[in-house]
Structure 1
């Protein structure tokens, strides 16, 4: 799995993907096509969910989420868990582009790894994997996905993955909303090896831990689209990154061994969560 994780990271940050900018084409771009193909390789039946988003006062562009579903293995099937990771970034040209390795090739590659590993485990819940587009433009892909949900109460939890490669502090933050008590208790029991996991229950605590009052972490990524519809979330991320939204956010700038610790931690947590009955998750 580590080898495939590296391959996905290498591809998503490559010159061919040129920064994964949202809205650059009418149809799914090369990054969306790659994610779709990877789901197909894993024997899913993925589909594109297309939407329009604003790019100015009088202009719009097209975005394309890539979605795949993993059914439960236990009857009766419990409510749906949605795992999100945005694949879009700031773009550029093949000669000079924003690779977006941590933001958010790391989350997208982890999403694909989970799509592979969770096929092999006991599942009381259906899992919907959503690689969202146009997060950088205003969470448009996640907002569209949530708006298209037939009945919100059928989705019990959002797991959002955004910037997962730790720096030297080796920290992973998990910001959670209300109504996630059992999931958080399960998280606290999860072995983390040398990874320093900080479980945080409010945006204000995140701001204090970061010593930065400017960022509202509750609204900082796709989980906010779910929160607005009262769908609980767990947001996994490393917090601030000095290379964020710069051309220094490359594969070479990451510590892959630390990233692998995060991926293993999230994977093991998800294995346990999927085997947890619905009534225990709130």
Structure 2
């Protein structure tokens, strides 16, 4: 993602944000983002190693992504690849298209890069990658008025090579526009920092002369809407900043409307071997995911009527885990209808450190002080809570 730079953070009030209506169906779907899924995706991404564009690890990650979309039910006809070379090595962008019901030829793009340098890149940009996957899973069968493209770019770390290739060869061909875009919503480096938890996300807009200034005001309006959706559908607060050095830039240069998410404060681990699962804050990624699903529905105008499957809420979402911090006994409070369940506690590296079955009082006295994840699972559902052991 971005090299460290001084960002101009502006007060949200400066932008004269207008209220948007809360839509319960959008909230229900945002709530379908699960902490367990986010953690699993981040750990899987980490395990794939350093994903330098065109490397074996990079190609393995592409195949992992394709497999996820196939598992979610996306067909071969919806999944396309865009090949290009980086330093003589072939790599690919992955594009997954969901067709709109009213405006099938106008697209909302939600994107993020999956290539990394120097480390596994769990924040930069496994975080954005995991959120795209969760959004695609949740919205797979939800009708949207506008078409949606979920795009995973490669070559970002070498200078936005993948997104430049896509813009200049797919969105445009010989400088003739081929795709009409409503907005490009980029998610890059939203992993947070486990040692410095945050409840604020940066919402980015185009305020430069790149591609002319005609798209600046529409970008600002879209970013106002992104900020509104964030506070409507997630517990996060927002701050505003200018777009900078990520995969929305080639679109911006062609006059398209862009917006995006970026973490605050900046972890400082990007582009280093320290960009690992142990150093990010998965709860922060989870909350950004909820905001992203809410905003994507707003941008694409999703159906406001829930299907039968969507109304069957995860009963485990109401689980309570206390005390937190815990010293000796960790209590699990579940709905009375749940009789059979498993408890798994993992450390920040993903190592399983404690497991029990149908036990609501867990003895954690043998665990060392630190941060852990407690997953409660039934045959059909799961939920994960962050816990702290402090003696």
TM-score (norm. length: structure 2): 0.59
Counterpart among 67, 73, 92 of residue 43 in structure 1: 73
Give the structure 2 partner of residue 105 of structure 1: 126
Give the structure 2 partner of residue 189 of structure 1: 228
Equivalenced residues, count: 245
1:77 Cα deviation after fit: 3.4
Q: Is the alpha carbon distance of 1:76 and 1:159 closer, same or farther for their aligned partners in structure 2, counting shifts above 3 Å?
A: closer
Q: Is the alpha carbon distance of 1:228 and 1:24 closer, same or farther for their aligned partners in structure 2, counting shifts above 3 Å?
A: same
Q: Deviations over 1:38-85 (max 9, x none)?
A: 1111222312211123x3xxxx2212111110111x324361111111
Give the structure 2 partner of residue 230 of structure 1: 255
Q: Deviations over 1:191-238 (max 9, x none)?
A: 2654221123x3xxxxxxxxxxxxxx52x1111111111111112111
Whether the aligned pair in 2 keeps the contact of 1:28 and 1:64 (CA below 8 Å) is: no
- In 1, Cα distance between equivalents of 2:148 and 2:235: 29
Q: Is the alpha carbon distance of 1:195 and 1:76 closer, same or farther for their aligned partners in structure 2, counting shifts above 3 Å?
A: closer
Say which one has the larger Rg. Answer: 2
Whether the aligned pair in 1 keeps the contact of 2:121 and 2:271 (CA below 8 Å) is: yes
Q: Is the alpha carbon distance of 1:258 and 1:76 closer, same or farther for their aligned partners in structure 2, counting shifts above 3 Å?
A: closer
Whether the aligned pair in 2 keeps the contact of 1:121 and 1:271 (CA below 8 Å) is: no
1:20 Cα deviation after fit: 1.2
Greater displacement, 223-232 / 183-192 = 183-192
1:259 Cα deviation after fit: 1.7
Give the structure 1 partner of residue 64 of structure 2: 34
Give the structure 2 partner of residue 114 of structure 1: 135
Where relative contact order (Cα < 8 A, 6+ residues apart) is larger, the structure is 1
- In 1, Cα distance between equivalents of 2:107 and 2:287: 26
- In 2, Cα distance between equivalents of 1:152 and 1:13: 36
- In 1, Cα distance between equivalents of 2:121 and 2:227: 30
- In 2, Cα distance between equivalents of 1:170 and 1:127: 28
Q: Is the alpha carbon distance of 1:13 and 1:180 closer, same or farther for their aligned partners in structure 2, counting shifts above 3 Å?
A: same
Give the structure 2 partner of residue 5 of structure 1: 38
Q: Is the alpha carbon distance of 1:249 and 1:76 closer, same or farther for their aligned partners in structure 2, counting shifts above 3 Å?
A: closer
Whether the aligned pair in 2 keeps the contact of 1:88 and 1:135 (CA below 8 Å) is: yes
Gaps (5+ residues) in structure 1?
A: 92-97, 203-216, 277-282
Greater displacement, 129-138 / 153-162 = 153-162
Matches within 5 A, 1:83-232: 83-91=110-118, 98-148=119-169, 149-150=171-172, 151=177, 154-167=180-193, 168-177=197-206, 178=216, 179-190=218-229, 191=232, 193-200=234-241, 202=242, 217-218=243-244, 220-232=245-257
Matches within 5 A, 1:1-80: 1-2=33-34, 3-14=36-47, 17-25=48-56, 29-44=59-74, 45=76, 46-53=79-86, 55=87, 60-72=88-100, 74-77=101-104, 79-80=106-107
Q: CA RMSD in A?
A: 2.1
4+ residue runs over 4 A deviation:
none
Whether the aligned pair in 2 keeps the contact of 1:79 and 1:125 (CA below 8 Å) is: yes
1:153 Cα deviation after fit: 5.7
Q: Deviations over 1:237-275 (max 9, x none)?
A: 115322122222111112212221111011111112211
- In 1, Cα distance between equivalents of 2:46 and 2:58: 17
- In 2, Cα distance between equivalents of 1:18 and 1:77: 37
Gaps (5+ residues) in structure 2?
A: 1-32, 207-215, 303-391
Q: Is the alpha carbon distance of 1:35 and 1:160 closer, same or farther for their aligned partners in structure 2, counting shifts above 3 Å?
A: same
Give the structure 2 partner of residue 279 of structure 1: none
1:171 Cα deviation after fit: 2.4
